[in-house]
Amino acid sequence: MRFPLPRTMTGLVAAGTVVVATPLVVALFIAGIVLERLTLDAERLVTKGVSLANLAARLQDDLSGLERSARQFIILDDPGLLDVFFARVTQMQKTLQEIEGGGFEASFAEPLLVLGVRQGLAEAADGFVRGLANGDPLGPAADRIGGLKTDVEAIARVGRAAVDADMARLRETSETARHVMWISSVALIPLTALLAFAFSLMVTRPLARMARGIATLGHAQYNQPIEIAWPVEMQRLGEQLDWLRRRLAQFDEDKDRFLRLVSHELKTPLASLHEGAALLAEGALGPLSTRQLEVAQILVESTLELAGQIDKLLTFAEWREGHRQFDQAWFEVGPMIQEVLEAQKLPMENRGLIAQVQLNGAPRLFGERARLRVALDNLLSNAVKHAPHGSAIEIRAGMRQQQCELSVRDSGRGVSRHDRVRIFEPFVRGSEAEETGVRGTGVGLSIVKEAVLAHGGDVEVEDAHPGARFRLTWPCPPAPQQPQAEPAAPRQVTHVA
């Protein structure tokens, strides 16, 4: 059975507040009942104790006054004292009636004590009356009255003991109530926390879905629909995000289509321009002057550079669509690095750069050679653009703890922390490239990241002091055993362009 949940976020928060507060209200209700019972018991005990004390004190006063008036009459033989004597007898009888009628006999624990006092009082009064009538001595009657002091004191003592017993019971009751309240708190507070946690999950779950949807949009992953079914406000926001996802996916497809179309349309006339410039530079159409030869060489270099940029755009578009075959295998990394250096030979010569190659461990890597070659070519091209004239570019490759590594370091200005993430986004260039006017399309490093992500790895930018090091790492299986006479030491080769 599923409980109906509010449709809106406002209703959910309100319902959650009520439900979370319910255990606390129950705990307060239980505490109120317990405290009310304790209060009533305490009031009843106080009233009872005061009444018992008053009655016992009055009974003792009545008995003392009765004995005093009896003995004064015996000595003085004053008729007025006789009236006082019988008045005190009547008052003492009323006090005993209040004890019996007020239900205090059980509290006094010995109802026979009250009955004994009543009988003793009656006998003393009768003895006093008979003595007056017959002329007998009244001393025995007065002594009988004095003998009742022991029973009256016993009544007061038993009453005090009854009050003490009630106080002990009240303390036990309060201790029990304290345990009940403590157990209720221990039981209900975790329940309150659990309910609060459950409702916080209900509130944060759609927010988490929205955050994941925004993150997928930020990473240009448009194939996963964004669906938030509840509550109503989040559902509407989810629909807006999904609409944005579809629009971005359409724009992304249009962009890739445009890249392919423009790149293919540019390659044919660009090839013609390159061929013509090369013919002019080679003198196939006649000898050129020195300045004309320089212009022809500039045209050749520019067409080659533009062709490389177009190839990067085409490669980026193909990898985005996943059209390329992806087969991984072990390969020698040294020849691949030499191929990339040969491809970058001309721009490195123009800037007087030196390549320092260091191979750590076995000079083999695991992966798709074609993709890794393109990634290395883009890293080297990026380093050539930012390296100072006459400096060295460091290339490292090798394996470490079941991880393949490939890195390129230049000695330029480095990469700011603000740019270390955004430069791997498509068509985004670093602040240094914008400041120095370095040409580029902004997709080279995107291709690098696409390549290493396809291998299950990642790329990071490190401070090299000076310059920056772009390090690619991806997992690989254990390298196949190869017989060798001694452990391979790191090899370093300096390639002068």
How do residues 328-366 score in pLDDT, each as one tens digit?
A: 889 999 999 999 999 888 889 988 999 999 987 667 899
Structure tokens at 306: 């533009």
- Which residue is it, tokens 């059209």? 323
How do residues 370-428 score in pLDDT, each as one tens digit?
A: 889 989 998 998 899 889 999 999 999 988 888 899 999 999 888 888 888 788 877 67
pLDDT at 6: 66
Q: Is the peptide bond before 231 cis (omega within 30 degrees of 0)?
A: yes
Report the alpha-carbon distance of residue 479 to residue 418 in Å, rounded: 37
pLDDT at 337: 93
Query: Do the beta carbons of residue 340 and residue 374 sit within 8 Å?
Result: no
Residue 289: how many CA atoms within 13 Å on its side-chain side? Answer: 2
pLDDT at 497: 47
List the domain boundaries for the chain: 9-191, 232-314, 327-496
Amino acid code (one letter) for 181: M
Q: What mean pLDDT is predicted for residues 35-55?
A: 77
Amino acid code (one letter) for 117: V
Q: 468 in helix, strand or coil?
A: strand
Amino acid code (one letter) for 377: D
How do residues 166-177 score in pLDDT, each as one tens digit?
A: 778 778 877 877
Give 175: exposed, middle or buried? Use CB within 10 Å, 0-12, 13-18, 19+.
exposed
Closest listed residue to residue 497, CA positions, set 340, 295, 297, 331: 340
β-sheet bridge partners, residue 458: 473
Does the fold of domain 327-496 match that of domain 9-191?
Answer: no
- CATH architecture under which domain 9-191 falls: Up-down Bundle (1.20)
114 band by pLDDT with thresholds 50, 70 and 90: confident
Structure tokens at 467: 């310059």
- CATH architecture under which domain 327-496 falls: 2-Layer Sandwich (3.30)
- Which residue is it, tokens 């927010």? 207
CB neighbours (10 Å) of residue 170? 16
- Give the 3-state DSSP-derived string for 164-179, with helices as H, strands as E and coil as C: HHHHHHHHHHHHHHHH
Distances from the Cα of 406 to the Cαs of 130, 171, 375, 476, 478, in angstroms? 132, 79, 10, 13, 17
pLDDT at 432: 58
Q: 402 in helix, strand or coil?
A: coil
- Please check the confidence at residue 221 and state whether its pLDDT lies above 50: yes
Structure tokens at 269: 């006339």
Query: Do the beta carbons of residue 494 and residue 355 sit within 8 Å?
Result: yes
Q: Is the peptide bond before 466 cis (omega within 30 degrees of 0)?
A: yes
pLDDT at 258: 72
pLDDT at 109: 41
Total-model pTM? 0.47
407 phi/psi in degrees, rounded to 5: -140, 155
